[in-house]
Amino acid sequence: MPPAFVELLQFLFSGITSGAIYALVALGFALIYNASHVINFAQGEFVMLGGMITWLLLSHGIDLPLAIAGAVAATVVVGLALEKLAIEPVRDANVVTLIIITIGAGIFLRGLTSVTLGKDLHAVPAFSGNEPLELLGATIMPQSLWILGVTAAVVLALHLFFHFTILGKAILATSHNRLAARLMGVNVNFVLLLSFGLSALLGAVAGILIAPITATHFEVGIMLGLKGFAAAILGGLGSGLGAIVGGLLLGLIESLGAGYISSDYKDAMAFVVILGVLFLMPQGLFGKRGTERV
């Protein structure tokens, strides 16, 4: 294999890996946005909690599978509590107010984590070792395969859930037209609760998957949350497919940009691209384009 090709392949692997994580976070944004038109700026904290709680349970000698289950369950409880205590009481408030509530929740969760679990960087072991696999001359970590596999499985599960279960269809109906859904007997509050629970689950899964690669820390959710939001916007806010494509695209752009242009500006790539896309296509790649009725 020519070295240039191997190098490209290496960038693609790492881009798709982080892209899958961004896609999971973006899906969390899209879910809550669809159910409530709220942008949940605490989404990154779900990611952080997933990783931190896994580390906590592991450090108490609990097995990895059990630790993962525990971390996911705990994060989902946090997501449900956030909806019940802070979002449901003010559901019809304006967008900025809701944004600030979720930002407040994010600050609270970060504070809580730093107080209880400390401010140190914690390592979480990879699910199946650190022996790199070789593929066409490039190397890929087993954890990356875990990330891609689990993300694919989650996306498939979500697809089945939304298209083949009554509950999933109720959520979709609510996102299209809340009033009509209510008239059809959908419990809108329950749908809202469920969407926060599901988003927390997606966030936790993303956080657990990425923790062995980047290590985990109480502030790890800030950048991941922002990039997940960028991915959701890139794909078109509220579009599930858009979130996945947006996430993968963002991961690839970042990795290729860091590799070929400037690694100093890796974190900026995502935002430069999103600005460019918004300037040219104000609705994102897959967003609905509607004519305002006057």
Partner 1 sequence: MSLLRVENLSIQFGGVQAIQELDFEISEGTIHSIIGPNGAGKTTLFNLITGLYRPSAGAIYLDDAQIAGKRPHDLARMGLSRTFQNLRIMMNMTAIENVMVGRHLHLNRNLLACMLRLPMITRADKAARKRCIELMDLVGLGGAIDADASALPYGALKRLEIARALASEPRLLLLDEPAAGLNARETKEIDDVIATVARAGVTVVLVEHDMKLVMGISDHILVLDHGRKLAEGTPDAVRNNPAVVAAYLGQV
Partner 2 sequence: MADIRPSGYSKHRKKQTYTRRLGTRATPMQVLMSERIGGMGALIVIIAALPLLLANNYQYDVAITIGINAIVVVGLNLLIGYAGQISLGHAGFFALGAYASAILTARYGLHGALAMPLGALGVGLLAYIIARPILRLSGHYLAMATLGVGVIINIVISREAWLTGGPDGMYVPPLEVWGVELYGGPIWYWIVAAFLVLAVWISLNIIDSPVGRALRGLHGAEVAAEVAGVDTTRYKVMVFVISAVMASVAGSLAAHFSEFVTPEKASFFHSILFVTMVVFGGMASTFGAVVGAAVLTLLPQLLADFASYEHMILGLIMMAVMIFMPRGLVPTLTGLARRRGARR
Binding site for partner 1 (CB under 8 A): 291, 293-294
184 scored as a contact of partner 2 (CB under 8 A): no
**Selection from 248, 173, 256 nearest residue 23 by Cα:** 248
| Residue 46 makes contact with partner 2 by CB under 8 A | no
The smaller minimum CB distance to partner 1, of residues 263 and 291, is found at 291
**Residue 40 and residue 166: Cα distance in Å, rounded?**
25
Residue pair 42/102 in contact (Cβ under 8 Å)? The answer is: yes
60 vs 293 by CB, closer to partner 1: 293
DSSP letter, residue 134: E
Closest to 199 measured CA to CA, from 19, 29, 21, 23: 29
Q: In angstroms, what is the minimal distance from the CB of 293 to partner 1?
A: 8
For the bound state, the minimum distance from the C-beta of residue 96 to partner 2, rounded and expressed in Å, comes to 6
Q: Is 289 in the site for partner 2 (CB under 8 A)?
A: no
Candidate residues 59, 261, 275, 288; the one interacting with partner 2 per rule CB under 8 A = 275
Q: Nearest distance from residue 9's CB to partner 2, in Å?
A: 27
Q: Which of 214, 224, 220 lies closest to 270 in space, CA to CA?
A: 224
DSSP class of residue 188? H
User: Are the CB atoms for 152 and 23 separated by under 8 Å?
Assistant: no
Minimal distance, residue 265 CB to partner 2, in Å: 6
Q: In sequence order, what are the residues at sequence separation of 6 or more whose Cβ sits closer than 8 angstroms to the Cβ of residue 44? A: 25, 106, 203, 221, 222, 223, 224, 225, 226, 228
Interacting partner of 86 out of partner 1, partner 2, none (Cβ under 5 to 8 A depending on kind): partner 2
Name beta bridge partners: 216.
122
Token duo for residue 180: 């009509």
- Partner in contact with 293, chosen from partner 1, partner 2, none, beta carbon below 5 to 8 Å by kind: partner 1
Check binding of 33 to partner 2 (CB under 8 A): yes
Which residues sit at the interface with partner 2, rule CB under 8 A?
33, 39, 86, 89-90, 93-97, 99-101, 103-112, 114-115, 222, 226, 229-230, 233, 237, 264-265, 267-268, 271-272, 274-275, 278-279, 282-284, 292, 294
